[in-house]
Structure 1
Amino acid sequence: MTLLIGCIADDFTGGTDVAAAFRRSGLRTALVFGPPDASLELPADCHVAVVALKSRSTPAEEAVADSLAAQRWLLDKGAAQIYFKYCSTFDSTARGNIGPVTDALMDTVPAAITLHCPASPPNGRTVYQGHLFVHDQLLSDSPLRHHPLNPMTDSCLPRLLSAQTRHPVALIDLPTVRHGVDAVRGAMVKHQRAGVRHVIADALTDDDLAVLGAAVHEFPVIAGAAGLAEGLGRAHPAAGAAVTEPQRAGRAAVLAGSCSARTLEQIAHFYAAGLPSLHLDVLAAASGRDVTGEALAWYDAQDPDLPVLVYASASPEELAAVQAQLGVTEAAAKVEELLGTIASHLVERGVRRLLVAGGETSGAVTTALGVRAVVVGAEADPGVPWTYASTKDDGLALMLKSGNFGAPDLFTRALHTDAEEAK
């Protein structure tokens, strides 16, 4: 089978999100965690391969190097097109990494022009007049302006991207998109003739994204969030393929490291449902206390028929206090170390359904488990699918959730309901 699309995602939950979008469009999709090496084989019969990196918040030079390595591997596997997936909140800094990575990918192919659109309407992310909105707020007015790694204090995408690339940036506005595929293609041709390399597109609905995907489905490099990826996938003739769903069974656990408002809601909902919950003391762990051992002893005492939650997530005030004592980098590293280690012990103890909240946490967990590739299954919520470890024979099911994604009841619904069905 020809690999239609090779996708590079800048974090692990972003990889899960975009893989779900391609699968939703009817394309058989595999997800690879971390930079792939030459010996890594894809699961059979894939239309799309997504390589999930941890490049969103690394130095720009490192992000570019990792992305180019992933691109080479995907092209060697026969990918006819490269999709660069970044967050629907355009997480980046004044130096990158969206601009530098996109430019490097385009230079390699080469590609003269590309389209950008971070809109993800099911998750409340839309673009209008080049400005990114989170539900009814400008990005810069939303809670994401306080993002712990990449605070987003500007909503103007052309301005944000122009600071990250030496090439011209232009806009395709909503009226052009609403005039359809030919209008978008015409606008892209006009911009290319004017020397523009990066084009931001407005989009308010999935229908807008379908128009954009159809208009650029033959471009060698495209960049955006999962919504544009789904529009792109639906434009391919192979879209609509049957995708089988493995059975989910076995003990279940949630590991949460994200401090996003939505993850905190999900933790509160799980606790309010009377399900076993344990908060990890990150400062105590940093001081040398055996917090991992305490967590595992607590887990061993729980009812095996109930899902459990182990979390290091904290309110903005609590997070600030931890970061003040440990530093931002050290605090994040300690959380990743704790949850990655606990994940490996839980799987050794028989956990077979593992829900992980947070991009960095997901990276730490999959690395600790040695999971390199998964097949993407059905979604519990938009952008939050179950995935299945393709290199394991023990039926390990993983749900890797971006911190801001999922309904408030996701933890209880995704795991507790499955437990009831498995009885």
Structure 2
Amino acid sequence: MSKNRQLLLAFYGDDFTGSTDAMEALALSGHRTVLFLAAPSPDMLSRFEGIRCVGVAGTSRAKSRPELKKEVESAMERLSLLDAPVVHYKTCSTFDSSPDIGSIGEAIRVSRGFFPGQRTVPLLVGAPALGRYTLFGQHFARMEGEVYRLDRHPVMSRHPVTPMHEADLRLHLKEQLDEEIGLMNILELEGDPSLVSERYRRKLSTEPSVLLFDVLGEDTLLTSGQLIWDAAQGGQRFVVGSSGVEYAMTAVWEKAGIAKTGRTADSAGLKPANHILAVSGSASPVSRKQIETAIDQGFHGIRIPAAALADSESIPRAMLEEAVRMLSGGKSVVLYTALGPEDASIAETRDRLSAQGIAGSLTGEHIGRQLGRWTKRIIQEAGLRRVVIAGGDTSGFVTGEMGIYGMEMLAPISPGAPLCRVYSEDAGMDGIELALKGGQFGGPDYFARVRDAGL
């Protein structure tokens, strides 16, 4: 790799919270990473001294195949032009997707046209740091200290939009991409590096469309990353997978002695916030516990009525005024749409949106945009400088309404859900501290930990 080559990796996230997860893995390893809402121009990149990795946060996980195709095509066209050896389509670490919503198979089909000459797309989903493991093609995820096979996971097997009923990632992906999907299994990744490389070459010689890597621990993660990185030295490579890709690349770079930039957003002056706003569009049991814990810890809870979510014409003034009043009085607030997957408000909201002609596949976007408009208004009226957004499917739409163009990690809070600095052309929004978390991330006291970051 040329020493003058500035960009090591570019990634496109299938949702905003997943993108911050990848950004965190890179930044904590000393490689300056900025996450953008749209693929950046060379002029925009020049604003960030020592930038090493570039991310683009997307909303494809919540989109139907035609809309996903349009979004991914636009992002990959630009990312493929960057001087980055590896371009990564970032999936959720639990791989939740379906043939109709958030299709990873469709993303692969669309993206690979921008990487001519590459016959096989590497697929790496395991991320031990996040409690995600792939073994003989079967995927597992940790929750509250227990590790579950994906189709038996208490949350992912019951996901309201893309429930995971198949733990074998090859079979799951086959429903979205009816092509040959190979496997580099745990046994084939063990042993002398030259033998592992030979096994990998033999796998590639059969030209599968996709090749999945097992990942059980840091050793297999490093080995898999080395195989992917070595191939990228012969020309830009397109890779699909979770932030395990970023963890793998940073391990490879550390081993190779690739210099760190050591430059990240300045967190030296980070201080705890007296009060914050937390906005949750998540229906996961983890988010429910976090909301309930926050209220127990003194946050003022405000449930968002289904009628307000469904009404695009009017503004729920009483609700917003209540939030601003509490925040202005020094009390933290949590605005939430639901308490867990069994909350009756979920069905009510869907029914109301359906009655307006809004399809189920567009529900996440509609809710996210509503939450984004309200969040920006509350920030401005209450003069807030720190905010939390919870919900992987809606976070991208929320941030899209807030008038920001980029983010950079300030401080880790919980793995996969750091506190970030916001970049915006709007002086009132620029510099705001924002934490984004997916439904499964963070402990019960996550919201309070964000509030207190800097102690």
Evaluate the alpha carbon distance shift between residue 180 and residue 64 of structure 1 in structure 2; reply closer, same or farther with a 3 A threshold. farther
Question: Do structure 1's residue 126 and structure 2's residue 137 form an aligned pair?
Answer: no
Could you list the per-position Cα deviations for residues 105-146 of structure 1 after superposition, in whole angstroms to 9, with x for gaps in the alignment? Answer: 233222122321211223332111101112332211112122
Give the Å deviation of 1:336.
Answer: 1.9
- Among 424, 436, 446, the alignment partner of 1:400 is 436
Once residues 69 and 77 of structure 1 are traced to their aligned partners in structure 2, the CA distance between those partners, rounded to angstroms, is: 14
Aligned to 1:82: 87
Between stretches 202-211 and 273-282, larger displacement belongs to: 202-211
| 1:117 has 2:153 as partner | no
Residue of structure 1 in register with 2:423 after alignment: 390
Q: Give secondary structure in 1 for the equivalent of 2:189.
A: helix
Which of 75, 94, 102 is matched with 2:99 structurally?
94
Amino-acid identity (%): 25
CA distance in 1 between counterparts of 2:394 and 2:114 reads 31
Q: What is residue 205 of structure 1 aligned with on the other side?
A: 217
Report the TM-score, using the length of structure 1 for normalisation: 0.90
Which letter maps to 1:13?
A: T
User: Which residue does the alignment assign to 1:241?
Assistant: 261
Query: What is the SS of the residue equivalent to 1:126?
Result: strand
Q: Structure 1 stretch 311-320 or stretch 79-88: which is displaced more?
A: 311-320
Q: Aligned with 1:174: secondary structure?
A: coil
Letter in 2 for 1:335: I
**Residues in 1 aligned to 2:29 and 2:292: alpha-carbon distance in whole angstroms:** 33
* Cα distance in 1 for residues equivalent to 2:259 and 2:110: 29
Which of 197, 218, 221 lines up with 2:238 in the alignment?
Answer: 221
Match of 2:109 in 1: 103
Q: How far is 1:370 from its partner? A: 1.0
Once residues 390 and 87 of structure 2 are traced to their aligned partners in structure 1, the CA distance between those partners, rounded to angstroms, is 27
Change (3 A) 1:9 1:28: same
Q: Post-superposition shift, 1:64?
A: 3.0
CA positional deviation for 1:356? 0.6
Name 2:388's counterpart in structure 1. 355
Pick one of 350, 354, 363 that aligns with 1:323.
350
- Which residue matches 2:367? 335
TM value normalised by structure 2: 0.84
Question: What is the aligned partner in structure 2 of residue 165 from structure 1?
Answer: 177
- CA change 1:164–1:335 in 2 (3 A) is closer
Instruction: Return the letter of the residue paired with 2:63.
Output: T
Query: Aligned pair 1:410/2:410, yes or no?
Result: no
Residues 285 and 169 (structure 1 numbering): CA distance in 2 closer, same or farther, change over 3 Å?
A: closer
2:67 aligned to which of 48, 62, 70: 62
User: Given that residues 212 and 228 in structure 1 are in contact (C-alpha distance below 8 angstroms), is that contact kept between their aligned partners in structure 2?
Assistant: no
* Contact 1:257 1:336 (C-alpha < 8 Å) held by counterparts: yes
Question: Is the Cα contact below 8 Å between 2:283 and 2:439 reproduced in 1?
Answer: yes
SS of the equivalent of 2:84 reads: coil
Structure 1 181/355 Cα, relative in aligned 2: closer, same or farther at 3 Å?
farther
The question of whether the paired residues in 1 share the 8 Å contact of 2:64 and 2:361 is answered with no
The structural deviation recorded for 1:81 is: 2.0
Aligned to 2:285: 261
Distance 1:164 1:296 in 2: 42
Equivalent in the alignment of 2:357: none
**Corresponding residue for 2:376?**
344
Give the C-alpha shift of residue 38 in structure 1: 7.7
Q: Is the 8 A contact 2:417 2:441 kept in 1?
A: yes
Give the structure 2 partner of residue 312 of structure 1: 337
CA contact (8 A) 2:157 2:165 kept: yes
Mapped to 1, the partners of 2:192 and 2:281 lie a distance apart of: 42
The residue aligned with 2:49 is 44
Q: Does 1:189 pair with 2:209?
A: no
SS of the equivalent of 1:399 reads strand
Bigger shift: 142-151 or 242-251?
242-251
| Cα contact 2:306–2:348 (8 A) shared by 1 | no
Q: 2:151 aligns with which of 132, 140, 151?
A: 140
Residue type at the aligned position of 1:296: L
Report if aligned partners of 1:282, 1:335 keep a CA contact under 8 Å in 2. no
Q: Secondary structure at the residue paired with 1:215?
A: helix
| Cα displacement (A) at 1:346 | 2.0
Return the match for 1:16 from 20, 36, 52: 20
How far residue 201 of structure 1 moved from its aligned partner, in angstroms, is 1.3
CA distance in 1, matches of 2:312, 2:51: 46
- 2:60 is paired with a residue whose SS is coil
Tell me what 2:77 maps to: 72
| Alpha-carbon contact 1:57-1:97 (below 8 Å) kept | no
The residue type equivalent to 2:405 in the other structure is: R
Instruction: Decide whether aligned partners of structure 1 residues 206 and 291 sit closer, same or farther in structure 2, where only a CA change above 3 A counts.
Output: farther
Larger CA deviation: 348-357 vs 315-324: 315-324
Are the structure 2 counterparts of residues 232 and 287 from structure 1 closer, same or farther at C-alpha, using a change threshold of 3 Å? closer
Task: Give the drift of 1:170.
Answer: 0.9
Evaluate the alpha carbon distance shift between residue 340 and residue 204 of structure 1 in structure 2; reply closer, same or farther with a 3 A threshold: same
Are the counterparts in 1 of residues 298 and 332 from structure 2 also a CA contact under 8 Å?
A: no
Shift of residue 284, structure 1, vs aligned partner: 4.7
Whole-Å separation in 1 of the counterparts to 2:371 and 2:340:
18
Q: Tell me how far 1:316 sits from its aligned partner.
A: 2.1
Question: Is the CA contact (8 Å cut-off) linking 1:374 and 1:388 kept in structure 2?
Answer: yes
Q: Distance in 1 between matches of 2:279 and 2:192?
A: 43
3-state DSSP class of the match of 1:380? strand
Q: Match of 1:177, SS?
A: coil
| CA gap 1:145/1:138 in 2 versus in 1, 3 angstroms | same
Letter paired with 1:107 = G
Tell me how far 1:35 sits from its aligned partner: 5.3
Question: How far has the Cα of 1:208 moved from its partner?
Answer: 2.2
Structure 1 stretches of 5 or more lacking a match?
none
Aligned partners of 1:12 and 1:285: how far apart in 2?
21
By how many angstroms is 1:182 displaced?
Answer: 3.9
Cα deviation for residue 223 of structure 1 reads 1.3
2: distance between equivalents of 1:185 and 1:234? 18
